């Protein structure tokens, strides 16, 4: 993703977008973090 952004945008803008994007991903993970091991059992093949 960073590769494409730096191709089309100046590096400082690409860097800012990536930092915001990663932060949004991390915040979303923390928001929904819910350990439910039973729901994942079927994947332990």
Partner 1 sequence: MTAESITTVLWLLGGVTGYWATPARWRDVFLPTFTAALLGYYAPASLAALTALAAITWLAAHGRRSSTASAARLMSGAGFILLTLVIYRISSRELQEDGSTALLLGFAFYTLRLMHYLFEVYKRTITHGEWRTFVAWLFFFPSISVGPIHRYPEFRRDLLRQRWDSALFSEGLERILYGYVKIVVIASGLIGGHASPWIESTAQASPTAHAWLLCLEYGALLYFKFAGYSDIAIGVSRLLGFRIIENFNYPFIAANMGDFWKRWHISLSSWCRDYAYMPVWSRWRNGALAAIASMLILGLWHELSWRYLVWGLYHGTGIMLWQRWHTATTDYRQRLPRAAQWAWYGLAWCLTLGFVIAGFAITRETTLNKGIALLMQLFGVR
As a whole number of angstroms, the distance between CA 32 and CA 21 comes to 17
- Say how many residues touch partner 1, by CB under 8 A: 19
Cβ distance to partner 1 smaller for residue 8 or 32 = 32
- Least distance to partner 1, CB of residue 17, Å: 14
* Residue 4 touches partner 1, criterion: CB under 8 A: no
**Alpha-carbon dihedral angle through residues 38, 39, 44, 45, given to the nearest 10 degrees:** 120
Cβ distance to partner 1 smaller for residue 8 or 40 = 40
């Amino acid at each position: 993703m960073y590769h494409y952004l730096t191709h089309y945008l100046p590096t400082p803008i690409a860097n800012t977008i990536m930092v915001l994007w990663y932060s949004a991903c991390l915040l979303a993970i923390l928001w929904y973090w819910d350990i439910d091991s039973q729901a994942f059992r079927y994947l332990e093949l």
